[in-house]
Amino acid sequence: MNDSVKQINEANFNIGLATAVITSSLFAIAQSRSRSRNSTITIADNKTFPIPEKIKIAITTVESFKGLPANWNGYGANPPSENSIRNSIEFLLRLSKKQRSPSLIIPTPDEGIVVELQEENVRLEFLFLPDNSAEVSGYVNNDMRFDHPLTETTEYCSLKWLVCPDGNCDNWE
């Protein structure tokens, strides 16, 4: 993969913003979703999608972090906060709509949760923090290329950056 096409800048995000506006709102989907007990997510227009098995497993993993003991990292860390758990699960449900699944899910020492997605040498880290904030960082070969607060726009653009680096993919979602 050519690193040069993985550069991300404000122009990418502006293009993404326009696209995001004319695309179904992922956040609206999340807010209006009703998660059935095990297997589907219902979005605003009442379309129902099955939750992929990998996402179900990911959600189970996140929920399991509630039971982590104090000092789980050997340096005195506490388990992730309720906010971090809730927001990361909502993000996973949004991901399921895009047919994407995480490559790594871990708690952080500051009571957050990280959800990573990786394609070859390119990686996204979505960090959900106890204060209800969230951030997204992009890496190529472990070099950080961007770090933004997570918003509808940055979520959309970063996912597109990961899977469609040249911006010319049809139906990348």
Partner 1 sequence: MEIVTIGNEDYLLRRFPLGRPNYIRQDGSVSSFAYCPDKEDTDGLSVDLEKLTNPKKTVVDPNVFGLLKISAGNVRSVPELDCNHNPISGNDAHSLITGNITKGKRSKLVDLSERIPQSELF
Nearer Cβ to partner 1 (30/137): 137
> Quick check: helix, strand or coil at residue 14?
helix
Binding of partner 1 at residue 164 (CB under 8 A)?
no
In whole angstroms, the minimum distance from the beta carbon of 143 to partner 1 comes to: 7
**Best CA proximity match to 80, nearest among 71, 91, 68:** 68
CB of 130 to partner 1, least distance (A): 9
- The DSSP-derived string for 82-97 is HHHHHHHHHHHHHHHH
Distance CA 154, CA 140 (A): 17
With respect to partner 1, which residue has the nearer C-beta, 55 or 114?
Answer: 114
CB atoms within 10 A of CB 97: 20
Q: What binding mask, one character per residue, do residues 110-149 give for partner 1 by CB under 8 A, x or -?
A: xx--x-x-x------x-----------x-x--xxx--x--
Is 63 one of the binding residues for partner 1 (CB under 8 A)?
Answer: no
The one-letter amino acid code at 10 reads E
Residue 36 in contact with partner 1, rule: CB under 8 A: no
Single out the residue of 4, 37, 75, 149 in contact with partner 1 (rule: CB under 8 A): 75
By CB under 8 A, the residues from 82 to 111 that bind partner 1 are: 103-111
Residues 119 and 163: beta-carbon distance below 8 Å: yes
Please state at what angle helix 82-97 crosses helix 53-64, rounded to 10 degrees: 180
- The window from 10-18, 23-31, 71-79, 81-89 that contacts partner 1 (CB under 8 A) reads 71-79
Strand partners, 134: 128
The token duo for 30 is 């999340």
CB of 61 to partner 1, least distance (A): 8
* Site residues, partner 1 (CB under 8 A): 64-65, 68, 72-78, 103-111, 114, 116, 118, 125, 137, 139, 142-144, 147
